[in-house]
Amino acid sequence: MTERGKAPGGSTFPLPLSSVTGGGARKPATPAPIARPQTATQNAARAVGGAQAPKAAQPGPKLPGYAPNTQSAPAAQRSDLAATEAIRRAMVARVAGQGVRDPVVLGALEAVPRHLFIEPALSSQAYVDASLPIGHHQTISQPYIVARMIEAMREAMPDGKPMGRVLEIGTGCGYQAAVLARVAQEVYSIERIKPLHELAKANLRPLRLSNLRLHYGDGMLGLAQVAPFDGIILAAAGMEVPRALLEQLAIGARLVAPVGGQVQHLQRITRTGKSAWTSETLEACHFVPLRPGTA
């Protein structure tokens, strides 16, 4: 690859950290707390009654499996389902209150049963706006940040129009992939840790999302065989956005990624031409690191 993309002000891609931390970060309407990976451990400890007493689980709302056909469900299951939906609506209202406006994204967030992606001991925390551990030192992302990234990726889309082909790097437990599958026609998601790839497959199976494909591999390389993508989201933070991913964006398409180390910001990159990209720095965030290779 010999071309170097030009960003406004002449920065080249891959973008160095210095080009994304130099101010200009857009503030959300209500600043969202920055959830850190270690916050997930604290959230989990709170969910199970404190780290010293991991067995003393707090009774939370009983969360049934996803059963969209409420007509045929028994009465008790119907009321569980209604309770879960009410809790989920409240979560979506909080996310909207933090500044996410896109109705398509909020609708998708409301449709995906997040509790199915969380281990049973933590399911009472499923609709708290927090990241939670999913094993292998990784986390399920905070609902606000999931929604914000998808909104940022979609921002230029004409109202109500679904996106075509979207790529996610870092499937984790599969939650964001499920939300993406409700806003795009085709979704590809790559995970580098084999047991998490398998976990995501198991979590997503009951949702029967026929437009979602999971891949095991190094997402830093993207998926050249399926490119170009109308949108790319990274769910893990690198010091720069991998060049291969920039090359796999369609012209006019957007990539949203956390960039940085200890200090991270969401960055949105738009491909404006064959060899041209522009970038914007959005709000502060905190994600687990983007790592090369597979595990």
Q: Which residues bind ligand SAH (CB under 6 A)?
A: 138-141, 169-173, 175-176, 190-193, 196, 218-220, 235-236, 288, 290-292
For the bound state, the minimum distance from the C-beta of residue 87 to ligand SAH, rounded and expressed in Å, comes to 18
How far apart are alpha carbons 53 and 155 in whole angstroms? 45
* The one catalytic residue among 11, 141, 189, 279: 141
Nearer to ligand SAH among residue 80 and residue 186 (C-beta): 186
* Cβ neighbours of residue 245 closer than 8 Å, sequence gap 6 or more: 167, 169, 220, 222, 232, 234, 255
Please identify, using beta-carbon distances, which residue of 173 and 249 lies nearer to ligand SAH.
173
Minimum CB distance to ligand SAH smaller for 13 or for 175: 175
Which strand (E) or helix (H) includes residue 106?
Answer: helix 103-111
User: Residue 272 class from Cβ within 10 Å (0-12 exposed, 13-18 middle, 19+ buried)?
Assistant: middle
Q: State the DSSP string of 171-218.
A: -TTSHHHHHHTTTEEEEEEEESSHHHHHHHHHHHGGG--TTEEEEES-
User: Do residues 58 and 48 lie in contact, with contact meaning Cβ atoms separated by under 8 Å?
Assistant: yes
Query: Side-chain half-sphere of 168: how many Cα atoms within 13 Å?
Result: 28
80 versus 143: smaller Cβ distance to ligand SAH: 143
Of residues 100 and 173, the one with the C-beta less far from ligand SAH:
173
* DSSP state at residue 12: B
**Contact status, residue 254 vs residue 188, Cβ threshold 8 Å:** no
Beta strand pairing call for 276-285 and 264-273: antiparallel
Rounded least distance, CB 269 to ligand SAH, Å: 17
To the query of whether residue 141 is one of the catalytic residues in this protein, the response is yes
Q: Between residues 83 and 244, which has the closer beta carbon with respect to ligand SAH?
A: 244
Verify cis geometry, omega within 30 degrees of 0, for the bond prior to 228.
yes
**DSSP 8-state class, residue 236:** S
Dihedral-angle region of residue 291 (phi above 0 means left; psi in -120 to 50 means alpha; beta otherwise): beta
Would you say 246 and 220 are in contact if contact means Cβ atoms under 8 Å apart?
A: no
Q: Which residues are catalytic?
A: 141
